[in-house]
Homo-oligomer: A and B are copies of this chain.
Amino acid sequence: MTTIQVKRESEAIFLDNWKKCIGTGRLGLALQQEYLEHLKTVQDEIGFSYIRGHGLLHDDIGIYREIEVDGEKRPFYNFTYIDRIFDSFLELGLKPFVEIGFMPKLLASDHQTIFAWEGNVTPPNDYQKWEDLIKAVTQHFIDRYGREEVLTWPFEIWNEPNLVNFWKDADKEEYFKLYQVTANAIKSIDQQIQVGGPAICGGSDEWITDFLTFCKNENVPVDFVSRHAYTSRSPHKVTADYYYQELAEPDKMLAEFKNVRQLIKDSDFPDLPFHITEYNTSYSPINPVHDTTLNAAYLAKILSEGGDHVDSFSYWTFSDIFEELDVPKAQFHGGFGLMGLGNVRKPTYHLFAFFNRLGSKVLYRDDHILVTEKNDGNISLVVWNLVMEKGDDHNRVINIQLPLANGKYFVSSKSISEKHANPWRVWQEMGRPRFPSKAQVETLKQSAVPLFESFQEHANDVGLQLDVQLTKNEVKLIEVELLKDETPSYPGLDDSLIDSYS
């Protein structure tokens, strides 16, 4: 048993950078009803500030088209769908974290595409037309949503240009050119719009340095730096439907956050905001780890500490409605989503919902627990038992001593574990129905509720003591509230006069 002595000496602030941004499948999916239902649930219960996804300029949304007039092809910009999409986001309290990409087919210099939905990843065939497109899009956003609003939207140029499958040949010079043209086009509409990049995935952090050097040397605008982070190692096994990997320790990701932050500090732009515009355990949308309790327990430390190093970090993604590797083939399929198909909350969903109950002051924090104080003086904490080894024998018992004044407290907890709020397991028990009936989906939803427990506790001179037991990969939210006992105000009350009660 571990004993944790929490004190009120800390001045540390717990920043909610973990809820600044959330990832989404390609923006065209945002036309879907079920997508919007998932997003509404997420916003009602967690409430992110920004949303980021690929495909703004992809042909399904259809912004860039050409039209023949008097025998001549002219660009035509179609905002019918993107207006509907951004309207929906804003109605749900989400601002776009704009990602510029991929290449419209008519502007593409080559045929290389990525994903089942065939996002074109080649440079423009005509930089002037690209520039015109970017200006038109930016201007349209201002026309429709107002300058004041659009100034709060970051514009990130492209996605993971350091990977050959996301940017033809991972051509760094070409990316810098694209960045320069794009950033300048945006700024030509309004100097105060924020632009940034290079949106790389991990493993090539020299791109960050080179990118900032380029901006400095060429006097190219840059208002933020962005990067992605996944902690999974090379896969053990890859099939059409499954991708299995070992995970690195959570500290690996946090170290990356720190390292890049340091790179920025050491650059010519030491104060630039730093956004992790994607992160998760595995980068594969068919890795079953995403459906597990392990995924939640694993990410707990990232949520707990990530905000110390980065200005936002955006979980990839909020929903299993996602088509990068085709239409989902089964109820559970290893998708990134916090929310599974049919509005079934997955374990990691609850991790975020639990963190959403925390206060803004850190009282205590280690690898397994984050104890916070709320504005009203009450204490809420999240505690987890990450176990990456196999086997069942990994329970953990913790004694937590909270610095609370004498009095009565109402202690309530919610918990997810292998046993509770684990619809993936229930679905296995059902025989893994690929296309479950409505009744089966209803059962999965009912199974996906965290275990609620509560009791009343006294604090004495040494504070309030909690004995917490955690099973393997259990994650638990505990809230401790000072209570006013109104029991004496009920004249005549005597529970022992009820049959069977004492």
Instruction: List the interface of chain A (C-beta within 8 A of B).
Output: 31-34, 36, 61-62, 65, 67-70, 76, 78-81, 83-84, 87-88, 140, 144, 236-237, 239-242, 244, 246-247, 288-289, 292, 294, 326-330, 341, 387-391, 408, 410, 412, 414, 419, 426, 428-435, 437-438, 443, 446-447, 449, 451-456, 472-473, 483-487, 489-502
Contacts and interface: CB of A to CB of B under 8 A. Distances in A.
A45 B167 CA distance: 50
Contacts of A329: 65, 76, 78, 80
A485 B447 contact: no
Contacts of A435: 79-80, 83, 140, 144
A34 B79 CA distance: 15
16 contacts: A31-B34, A61-B327, A67-B240, A83-B435, A239-B492, A241-B492, A246-B499, A289-B499, A294-B499, A294-B500, A330-B490, A389-B500, A390-B502, A429-B454, A432-B487, A433-B484
Nearest to A297: B500
B388 A499 contact: yes
Contacts of A434: 79, 486, 489
A289 B498 contact: yes
A395 to B, nearest CB: 14
B501 A390 contact: yes
A447 B453 CA distance: 8
A388 B501 CA distance: 9
Given A144-B437, A239-B491, A341-B80, A501 B292 contact: yes
B430 A388 contact: no
A417 to B, nearest CB: 12
A480 to B, nearest CB: 12
A486 B62 contact: no
Nearest to A482: B431
Which 8 A-B residue pairings sit nearest by Cβ, starting from the closest? A239-B492, A244-B497, A33-B33, A431-B485, A62-B327, A429-B456, A431-B483, A69-B491
